[in-house]
Amino acid sequence: MKFFIENQRVEKDVEWVKNQVRLHMNGATTSQMESRGINYRVNYGVAVPHLKQLACRIPVSYELAERLWFLEIRETMLLAAIIVPAEEMTVERCEEWAAKINNEDLVERTAMFLWPRLPVANQLLPVWLSAADSYLSAMACYSYGHQMKNTKVTGNVGVDELMACLKEQINPLVYRAVSFALRMYMRTSPDSIKEVEPYIEDLKNSSERYQLTMVEELRAEIDFLKEA
């Protein structure tokens, strides 16, 4: 457990955020997430659009974002990822935050809201991409995908580097993340289709459903891009 120096202003803001979150709690959503194996210390099931609206009303400071993150409540963690000032997230702080990520919901949401926008992303993502931890590897792939989606630039990663994750990670989450990143890569650089196709051939006879799903997603993307 992380301990914080008492700050009445920050504590007041934290309590306000928690009260606002409770106003939009949805038990049905929480139950659905738990049935999929997505577990948090506390989960109010608040929809992401509500959280984005709430984020616009929250004072922006690293101190508040840090407190919200380490509450380990789904909604406060996602809000922290949205509001934290990017320039204040050092590599050390990112690693400390990432150590709290233990489910696919946080992997996917932080890859949307947090990691791609950080100045230190180019230091973090290559390390996470080859990490033994499947959450870190998946976060890197999703983050690269969102970077490409938002900037239309392939950046410092290639098809072979993305596919290399799968040599060490026999994990459906990582396969979904790689699939997303490759689809964004092909949209950004259509010439890369010829680099992806041999990997599809290697996987098309798999007996694993998640590998076949990846093949289907990539083929559908290629067909769409060729028709366009």
- Average pLDDT (1-19) is 88
pLDDT per position as a tens digit, 158-181: 999 999 988 877 899 999 999 999
Domain ranges of the chain: 8-84, 103-228
Is residue 29 within 8 A of residue 44, CB to CB? The reply is no
176-215 confidence digits (pLDDT tens) = 999 999 999 999 999 999 999 999 999 999 999 999 999 9
For residue 2, what pLDDT is reported? 77
Mean pLDDT across 49-65:
96
> pLDDT over 90 for what percent of the chain?
89
- Confidence tier at 151 by pLDDT (50, 70, 90): confident
Would the pLDDT of 74 be above 70?
Answer: yes
Banded pLDDT at 228 (limits 50, 70, 90): confident
pLDDT at residue number 1: 62
Residue 182 tokens read as 């490759």
**Can you give the pLDDT at residue 155?**
78
> What is the value of pTM for the model shown?
0.94
Query: What are the b/e assignments for 30-48, b being 16+ CB within 10 Å?
Result: beebeeeebebeebbbbee
- Residue 119's pLDDT band, with cuts at 50, 70 and 90, is very high
Q: Is the pLDDT of residue 3 over 80?
A: no
Supply the pLDDT for residue 65: 98
Q: In the chain, pLDDT over 70 holds for what percent of residues?
A: 100
| pLDDT at site 169 | 72
The overall average pLDDT reported for the chain is 94
State the average pLDDT over residues 131-136: 94
Going by pLDDT thresholds of 50, 70 and 90, the confidence category of residue 156 is: confident
Distances (CA, A) of 127 to 53, 110, 120, 121, 133: 33, 17, 12, 10, 11
The backbone torsions φ and ψ at residue 223, rounded to the nearest 5 degrees and listed phi first, read -60, -45
Query: Are 107 and 98 contacting, i.e. CB atoms less than 8 angstroms apart?
Result: no
d(CA 49, CA 43): 16
Alpha helices in the chain (DSSP H): 8-23, 27-35, 48-55, 62-69, 74-83, 91-98, 104-113, 121-129, 134-151, 159-168, 172-188, 193-203, 209-227
